[in-house]
């Protein structure tokens, strides 16, 4: 059997099925450097157009899992995690992990950087002064054990093949591949040694999957492959036809979480998704009798301040400031140009091209167009109006945080293009559409 990288690419390009051995060989080449960046990009594009069968998906996932260390845990509670397929204003992880930890779970969360128009949890964490977003494995283990949760980025030890493929997908228009998304997400989660995983699969104008049908296919793929690899998994389909939170960026989203956990800000859509995903984790971990009991426990963990306390302890344990929750503005960088963007006429927000708001953040410097690009953590959008809100000369579409006046001008124009206004009320839609289980 031929294991030359170019022949493996050729076989997939022509619609053939790869053996587990061929996939293992290619992944080993990605890890060692034997496979070039151009070959990785070509493989990703071949998979994008030709797809992978379920056995190929499982093989790719397990090969990337096994490209580095696979963790095991000796803890008094279940090891649980959640992953989102990405959206705009989706910073649920920073609230969910401490809330679940407050209920007895352990959450060793390995997060990625931004992909395409979506923000990355790792980029958000890097906006916290002193925070070690990529500590060594022993520090990761210690903080998880002592605090109950630790949110970090991929290290060189965990799924290194995925780390390489992930960065190339971001800049080769192959982010949306269900097969590559499935293997990327699950390789990291399987390497983390989890007992249960909940997937937040988003659909809509700000998601990689534009409609619920495509999101359902991805959710089913994730649940099928994860369960086949021995990891109990469920998925929720959630709406991303508008930003999940009113803030989009890096430091601005960390400030949002500080306000959310402290009770200074509690937006309904963001809160609902946080509670529902957290409750699923408690049920998977057998920390609640049923979903209603789990929701009540999570609501109490957030309302009581226990989740905020654990989040603060995690930040300190990983090198961040001791009073981030109480004084986020004191520690987080701010952009020099802050400008409210008003609509050209008053009206009710009928629709939002949410992807365009994410692209506006990237254009401000809050994301990447190349893997090596630096991120400006201070820039972003805040106070974004939601669907159904009335906007006018007093209530803006949102507030731009930019490095220069010219960049603020461009972001303002993008924000105005992203919003569709009309007259009269808008029918509300469910934020959580459905649950998909094994």
For residues 105 and 80, the answer to whether their CB atoms sit within 8 Å is yes
CATH of domain 80-328: 3.40.1030.10
Catalytic residue among 12, 82, 117, 202: 82
Task: Extract the tokens encoding 170.
Answer: 């971001």
CA 187 to chain centre: 15
Confidence of residue 116 (pLDDT cuts 50, 70, 90): low
Catalytic annotation on 121? yes
Catalytic residue among 66, 81, 162, 170: 81
Task: Extract the tokens encoding 299.
Answer: 């609501």
For residues 132 and 153, the answer to whether their CB atoms sit within 8 Å is no
Give the pLDDT confidence of 59-114 residue by residue, as tens digits: 999 999 999 989 999 999 999 999 998 899 999 999 999 999 999 999 999 887 76
Domain covering 5-51, topology: 1.20.970
Confidence of residue 276 (pLDDT cuts 50, 70, 90): very high
Residue 228: pLDDT over 90:
no
Give the pLDDT confidence of 338-377 residue by residue, as tens digits: 999 999 999 999 999 999 999 999 999 888 766 667 889 9
Catalytic annotation on 430? no
CATH class of 333-422: alpha beta
Catalytic residue among 124, 164, 188, 331: 188
End-to-end Cα distance, the chain: 35
Catalytic annotation on 169? yes
Q: Which residues contact 397 (CB under 8 A, 6 or more apart)?
A: 341, 342, 343, 384, 385, 391, 415, 416, 419
What is the pTM assigned to this prediction? 0.88
What percent of the chain shows pLDDT beyond 90? 81
Q: How far apart are CA 178 and CA 239, in angstroms?
A: 18
- The closest alpha carbon to 131, from 331, 281, 376, 283, belongs to 331
Catalytic residue among 12, 65, 83, 269: 83
The residue with greater pLDDT, 127 or 120, is 127
Q: How far apart are CA 158 and CA 424, in angstroms?
A: 51
The pLDDT of residue 398 is 98
* Per-position DSSP letters for 279-328, written without gaps between them: HHHHHHTT-SSSHHHHHHHHHHHHHTTHHHHHHHHHHHHTT--TTTTT-H
Q: How far apart are CA 374 and CA 329, in angstroms?
A: 22
CATH 1.20.970.10 residue spans of the chain: 5-51
Catalytic annotation on 188? yes
Question: 129: burial class by Cβ within 10 Å (0-12, 13-18, 19+)?
Answer: middle
Give the pLDDT confidence of 130-183 residue by residue, as tens digits: 999 999 989 999 999 999 999 998 777 788 899 899 889 878 888 878 899 899
């Amino acid at each position: 059997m031929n294991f030359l990288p170019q022949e493996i690419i050729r076989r997939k390009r022509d619609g053939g099925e790869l053996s587990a051995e061929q996939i293992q060989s290619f992944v080993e080449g990605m890890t060692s450097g034997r496979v070039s960046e151009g070959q990785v990009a070509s493989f990703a594009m071949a998979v994008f157009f030709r797809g992978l069968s379920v056995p190929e998906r499982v093989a790719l996932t397990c090969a990337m899992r096994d490209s580095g260390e696979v963790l095991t845990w000796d803890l008094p509670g279940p090891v649980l995690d959640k992953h989102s397929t990405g959206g705009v204003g989706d910073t649920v992880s920073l609230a969910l992990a401490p809330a679940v930890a407050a209920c007895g779970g352990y959450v060793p969360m390995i997060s990625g950087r931004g992909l395409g128009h979506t923000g990355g949890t790792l980029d958000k964490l890097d906006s916290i002064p002193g925070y070690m977003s990529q500590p060594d494995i022993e520090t990761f283990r210690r903080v998880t054990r002592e605090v109950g949760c630790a949110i970090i980025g991929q290290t060189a030890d965990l799924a290194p093949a995925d780390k390489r493929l992930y960065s190339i997908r971001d800049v080769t228009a192959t982010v949306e591949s269900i097969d590559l998304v499935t293997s990327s997400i699950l390789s990291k989660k399987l390497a983390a040694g989890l007992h249960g995983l909940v997937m937040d699969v988003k659909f809509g104008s700000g998601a990689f999957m534009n409609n619920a049908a495509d999101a359902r296919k991805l959710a089913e793929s994730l649940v099928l492959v994860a369960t086949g690899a021995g990891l109990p998994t469920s998925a929720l389909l959630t709406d991303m036809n508008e930003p999940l939170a009113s803030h989009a960026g890096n430091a601005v989203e960390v400030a949002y979480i500080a306000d959310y956990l402290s009770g200074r800000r509690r937006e309904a859509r963001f809160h609902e998704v946080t509670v529902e995903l957290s409750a699923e984790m408690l049920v998977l971990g057998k920390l609640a009798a049923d979903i209603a009991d789990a929701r009540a426990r999570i609501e109490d963990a957030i309302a009581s301040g226990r989740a905020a306390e654990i989040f603060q302890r995690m930040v300190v344990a990983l090198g961040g400031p001791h009073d981030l929750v109480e004084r986020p503005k004191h520690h987080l960088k701010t952009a020099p140009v802050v400008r409210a963007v008003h609509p050209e006429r008053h009206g009710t927000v009928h629709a939002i091209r949410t992807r365009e708001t994410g692209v506006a953040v990237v254009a401000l410097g809050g994301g990447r167009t190349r893997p090596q690009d630096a991120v400006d953590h201070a820039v972003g959008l805040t106070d974004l109006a939601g669907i159904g809100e009335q906007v006018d000369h007093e209530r803006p579409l949102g507030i731009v945080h930019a490095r220069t006046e010219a960049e603020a001008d461009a972001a303002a124009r993008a924000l105005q293009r992203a919003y569709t206004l009309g007259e009269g009320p808008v029918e509300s839609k469910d934020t959580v559409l459905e649950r998909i289980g094994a």
